[in-house]
Amino acid sequence: MLLEVRDLQVEFRTREGVAKAVNGVNYTVDEGETLAVLGESGSGKSVTAQAIMGILDMPPGKIAGGEIVFQGKDLLKLKEEERRKVRGAKMAMIFQDALSSLNPVLSVGAQIGELFTVHQGMSRKDARTKAVELMDRVRIPAAQERVGQYPHQFSGGMRQRIMIAMALALEPDLIIADEPTTALDVTVQAQVMDLLAELQRELGMGLILITHDLGVVADVADRIAVMYAGRIVETAPVHEIYKRPAHPYTKGLLESIPRLDQKGQELYAIKGLPPNLMHIPPGCAFNPRCPMAQDVCRTDVPPLYEVSPTRRSACHFWKETLDAGQ
Amino acid sequence: MPEPQPPEPYLSGGGRAPEDGAIAATGAGGAMDLATSEGTTLEKTPGGPEGTGPAGKPRSLWSDAWRDLRRNPIFIISGLIIVFLVFISLWPSLIASGNPLSCDLAKAQEGSQAGHPFGFDGQGCDVYTRTVYGARTSVTVGVCATIGVSLLGSVLGGLAGFFGGSWDAILSRITDVFFAIPVVLGGLVLLSVVTSSTVWPVIGFMVLLGWPQLSRIARGSVITAKQNDYVQAARALGASNSRMMLRHILPNAVAPVIVVATIALGTYIALEATLSYLGVGLKPPTVSWGIDISAASPYIRNAPHMLLWPAGALAVTVLAFIMLGDAVRDALDPKLR
């Protein structure tokens, strides 16, 4: 087990009250495994990732409970200085918008090289040589010449490759990619995703892929965790979930993908809006939008039921959902 | 009554001259800038002398900025003016052989003549000599006050912006208190009790009342820079607080501070003149442009040369510092390269 998140709870204290962004998330990532975390905006997937990385803004954020066990150590119990040494070296993060995630006043070579100077005390000249190697590795053409250029001189896809190069620099054991391809256009998305998947296989890293793009997930993920209102509602191996979802929310997500054989028909959409995190509905958070909701859903929070040894679903009616198929 | 009218528009016209000059100069500079940057990109493409190959040394933001500045005509011109000013402040006797304090009342208000190219002032002192010697006080006051204000203001404001919380709240209230003190009134009260005739009380007063302005600017730009994704990204890659501050926040927050500081430098030189005019700044045995300008202003119609030379020197000095600040800010922004 590379990473285990146990009952993680994150709150944001605001003037209007406490927003419970993450309410008891559990998931695990093995060495070399790709876990896709799926969910709408505001479902807590990025906040969970930030808590794992230790880059949550605190305050206003606050980790209210739980454990994040990484390579046998609870990260939340480490001192900030020890935690800092883990970041970048043992686990790294790829951000959504590469343009705003790269410092505009530093050359890309300097930014990639920074990892080597910070963590390994390498000289700036050696770090620069390493940066060129990494840029080659993520297939940036003419890396030698471009290493001294600035982020705004690169295209979107190239910038995301630079982010990947930075994340991979010290060959970490875990990479968290927070919507790595959302800001890119479709053809570039595929290239960047392929590159990421390939490098991950090569280096045998665990990968947490945060996304709301089901198409991306199907190609690269081993397992999926679906999040809703700060909780995991379903986890399953990727192919099983596509065939037979065990939670009405997952089912709704899958049905809202446009498909060629449904040409001319109205596209399905899950009714309603995600809940306000300051007033999460009692019982199952999804009940106001769920087509299958019964009385029990409005009173009892569903635990994560074991559907099979590899699957979990937080739905009182997972059996019925599963049987309904897709 | 057409008589009393002219001085007013004339004066305001004289006061506006540096501004017009500044616009014209930056406009022309902009065009020149464009030309050079085009020239350099053309020269760079085939792997020019500044090739970025592995043999080349790793460059930092500051060395890139310096490389950029050396090619900027605005920087060269303003730099030369400033070097010249510093030079004459240190060794005024090298270009002015006379004594600024030896005056001949018989020659009061006389125009230019052999050996006295700028003419004489109301006391019969040589305007050329006094203008040269005045540079020392004006440059000292302007530069020292700006350095003091910038250091104090940006360190306090930057820390407040970076750490936020109670430190920020306390500091912000203190700056509010200082903002509430009118500069001229404050000068009249504080400086009237000072007996020293050196420039230091004046500089100290300017730093005391000036730092909140820079502190507020620095705090704001640090807060803006801190919220950028790349600062969080740097944290995610294991950068320490000091590294984030020095390498990621500072270079992105420094531009507004530089601009405001260089503009402030001009105002401090002018403020010295104001305070001297009110009699609480520098006192007459000291030679300063401010003192000379205020002494000459009543005679503007009879002997304009008495005002124009020190005022012109003041305008050129202020303009040079503003242009320098502009060039430095541009050089620190790689998007303009």
Taking chain B (337 residues) in runs of 10, the rounded mean pLDDT of each run is 41 39 38 37 36 46 78 89 88 77 72 72 78 85 90 90 85 88 85 79 89 90 85 82 83 83 81 80 78 80 81 86 83 71
Q: Does residue B3 lie in a domain region? A: no
pLDDT number for residue B35: 37
B334 Cβ under 8 Å from any chain A Cβ: yes
Residues 6 or more apart whose Cβ sits within 8 Å of residue B192:
B280
Q: Does residue B28 lie in a domain region? A: no
Q: Does residue B103 lie in a domain region? A: no
From CA A135, how far away is CA A148, in angstroms rounded?
12
Regions in chain A scoring below 70 on pLDDT: 325-326
Distance from CA of B305 to the nearest CA of A (A): 48
Contact B310, B289 (CB under 8 A): yes
Contact A139, A120 (CB under 8 A): no
Angle between helices B73-90 and B7-44 (to 10 degrees): 120
CA angle B231, B234, B235 (to 5 degrees): 90
The CATH number of the domain holding residue B293 is: 1.10.3720.10
pLDDT number for residue B80: 92
Contact B239 A114 (CB under 8 A): yes
Contact A48, A39 (CB under 8 A): no
Contact B233 A95 (CB under 8 A): yes
* Chain A residues lying within 8 Å of B238, measured CB to CB: 84-89, 115, 118-119
Q: Which DSSP helix (H) or strand (E) runs through B137? A: helix B127-163
**Residue of A97, A146, A166 lying closest to B237 (CB–CB):** A166
Residue with tokens 């909701």: A293
Domain count of chain B?
1
Contact A150 B232 (CB under 8 A): no
From CA B169, how far away is CA B164, in angstroms rounded?
8
Q: Does residue B35 lie in a domain region? A: no
pLDDT number for residue B59: 58
Distance from CA of A277 to the nearest CA of B (A): 23
Dihedral (CA of A257, A38, A216, A250) sign: negative
Helix, strand, coil % in chain A, rounded to nearest 5: 40, 25, 35
Contact A297, A290 (CB under 8 A): yes
A127 Cβ under 8 Å from any chain B Cβ: yes
**Residue of A103, A104, A119 lying closest to B238 (CB–CB):** A119
Contact A312, A305 (CB under 8 A): yes
**Residue of B61, B236, B335 lying closest to A87 (CB–CB):** B236
Asked if the bond preceding A60 is cis, omega within 30° of 0, the reply is yes
Mutation choice for A interface testing from B237, B241, B250 by most A CBs within 10 A: B237
Kindly report each contact of residues A134-139 with a partner whose C-beta sits within 8 Å and lies 24 or more positions away, as own/partner: A134/A165, A134/A166, A134/A168, A134/A169, A135/A108, A135/A109, A135/A161, A135/A162, A135/A165, A137/A165, A137/A168, A137/A199, A138/A162, A138/A164, A138/A165, A138/A168, A138/A195, A138/A199, A139/A195
From CA A23, how far away is CA B136, in angstroms rounded?
67
Residues in B 216-255 with any Cβ partner in A closer than 8 A: 228-230, 232-240, 243, 247-248, 251-252
The count of CB pairs under 8 A between chains A and B is 110
Residue B18: alpha-carbon gap to chain centroid: 13
Domain assignment of residue B133, given as a range: 63-95+128-327
Residue B292: alpha-carbon gap to chain centroid: 20
CA angle B159, B162, B166 (to 5 degrees): 75
pLDDT number for residue A75: 81
Q: Does residue B174 lie in a domain region? A: yes
DSSP code of residue A152: G
Q: Residue A219: exposed, middle, or buried by beta-carbon count in 10 A (0-12, 13-18, 19+)?
A: exposed
Contact A87 B60 (CB under 8 A): no
pLDDT number for residue B261: 87
Q: Does residue B157 lie in a domain region? A: yes
Q: Does residue B45 lie in a domain region? A: no
Cα dihedral angle (A189, A193, A195, A197), rounded to 10 degrees? -170
Q: How far is CA A163 from CA A48, A311, B13, B313, in A?
A: 20, 33, 55, 52
pLDDT number for residue B61: 67
* Chain B residues lying within 8 Å of A128, measured CB to CB: 54, 58
pTM of the predicted protein model: 0.68
Contact B232 A55 (CB under 8 A): yes
Q: Does residue B27 lie in a domain region? A: no
The string of pLDDT tens digits covering residues A285-298 is 888 888 887 888 88
Distance from CA of B6 to the nearest CA of A (A): 52
